[in-house]
A and B are shown apart, each in its own frame.
Chain A
Amino acid sequence: MQVPDTLRYTSDHEWARADGGRVRVGITDYAQDALGDVVFVGLPEVGTAVEAGAVLGEVESTKSVSEIYSPLAGTVVAVNSALGDAPEQLNADPYGEGWMVEIEPADPAAFEGLLDAAGYRELTAE
């Protein structure tokens, strides 16, 4: 199970990557493996204001429907619309082409409060 050291994580299995003033968000390798084949991804509109822990979107696999939560408070500034036709990217490349949204955080310092890779590995090792 891949847990890149350069990313931050939530206990709900989202990852976050700081990129300039933005934070890119997706689901972890552990999450995509648990979901199985992803067949639909529901994403928010650009411009949507989100709270930390609020529903950011949903991911449907052949076996379940799961909500994705925002790691941080802020505003959605980009969504990966390519997932509309290619939701399987969440399985194939969860940390790359399978990214879901970019958020402009209300408080950039909040990023540092997320789990680091070691903390997330510990969580998923249980």
Chain B
Amino acid sequence: MTPTEPDLSTAAPHLEGPDGDLRHSPLEAAHEALGAKLVGFGGWLMPLAYPAGTLAEHRACRTAAVAFDVSHLGTVRVEGPGSLDLLQAQLTNDLGKIAPGRAQYTHLLDAADGSVLDDIIVWWLDDEVFDVMPNASNTDRVRGAIGGEDRTAERAVIAVQGPAARALLAPLAPEAAAVGHFAVTTFDWRGVPATAAGTGYTGEDGVEVSLPADAAPAFWKSLLTLGVAPAGLGARDTLRLEAGLPLHGHELGPGITPLQAGLSWVVGWDKEDFRGRAPLDVERAGGPTRRLRGLLAAGRQPPREGAAVFAGGDRVGTVTSGNFSPVLGRGIAMALVDTAAGLDIGATAEVDVRGRALPVTVAALPFVRPGEAGRH
């Protein structure tokens, strides 16, 4: 047995093997005690899966509740007069659409070509106080654009996700359990300052909690005692794929604009200007030449990242992420497909799987909607 395609430890630009100079989560000892497999991800040593395994963790998130350690995400505090104007100028989305106490998904673009340098969640805590949360490996790049203070090392972030997430979280942190969808709130947890946001990366309802590194292990342990199952990066990836959510380095990255990724809604077109606007305006006027599509296989075998997509004998695109959908029981993928090929929802295509043609159907994203898992 030899891997013909790299596994999670080497597959993506910001995934690497467990060796080397990796950063450590405040929860690492807890993961080790649970028997987690740890893997390098974005410069951090993080859980890939716990003994229950990726499929069981995935199903637990769709039907009950799981907790992910997402301390590898960055936290960059931007505050003081001018902070709002700075973020409005540097990031694509329009903070004018929200207000303090809300969270927003946004992009940092390459000024030269409008491609996505990082996708980010902004927690707007107070008038001129923002926590900007980049992807792990992009934190320095984002700080280059917006400055701010890197607070990543001071805290842990735990994502509690799934239809039962709020109910199970309520006895431990009622303020966090009550936070609205894409709302942000600060609260006191056993004497330490904590922040909760109604955000996540699974397609399910849930809450993300940031709290001081020292307090995080007790919070994590209490969550598991309340019946929340631990879940690793493997399940996080299959969950976000079913939910049609992009992962930087796959659906977003060098050469890929928000328009190509189908994320025009992340762009504040009504804003005066922002970094990367000029090339994006040009692309918008002509229409993007390729577009992110969902691909659904007939059977279990998934199309995989990097595989060529063919239609009518012509190469029309490339798979950006692919895996098995535990909910659908079939292979699913996202792919960047030439718009000229005219592949709309329901069209058929083929993916080259190591020399064999795997038939697929173009499917709407997301593949699975919140709370839908029980219907399949």
Binding site for B on A (CB under 8 A): 12-14, 27, 31, 35-37, 39-40, 42, 58-69, 87-88, 91
Contact = CB atoms under 8 A, between A and B. Distances in A.
A67 B54 contact: no
Nearest to B49: A36
A27 B48 contact: no
A24 to B, nearest CB: 16
B1 A64 contact: no
Contact of A62 (B5, B6, B54, B354): B54
A65 B4 contact: yes
Contacts of B302: 39-40, 60
A55 B8 CA distance: 23
B234 A62 contact: yes
A87 B300 contact: yes
B53 interface: yes
B238 interface: yes
A42 B4 contact: no
Contacts of A59: 1
B174 to A, nearest CB: 35
Nearest to A59: B1
Contact of A37 (B4, B53, B354): B53
Interface in B312-369: 323-324, 331, 354
A88 B5 CA distance: 20
A120 to B, nearest CB: 13
B6 A40 contact: no
B7 interface: yes
A59 to B, nearest CB: 7
Nearest to B304: A65
- A35, A39, A68, A69, most chain B CB atoms within 10 A: A39
A65 B54 contact: no
A36 B5 CA distance: 15
B54 A36 contact: yes
Interface string B1-21: 111111110010000000000
Contacts of A40: 299-302, 324, 331
B241 to A, nearest CB: 10
Interface string B285-314: 000000000000001111010000000000
B55 A42 contact: no
Given A60-B324, A63-B48, A65-B304, A36 B234 contact: yes
A31 B2 CA distance: 9
A64 B2 contact: no
B300 A12 contact: no
Given A36-B49, A40-B324, A91-B53, A64 B300 contact: no
What are the 9 tightest A-B residue pairs by CB atom distance, in nearest-first order? A64-B7, A39-B324, A63-B8, A65-B5, A13-B1, A62-B54, A37-B55, A40-B301, A40-B300
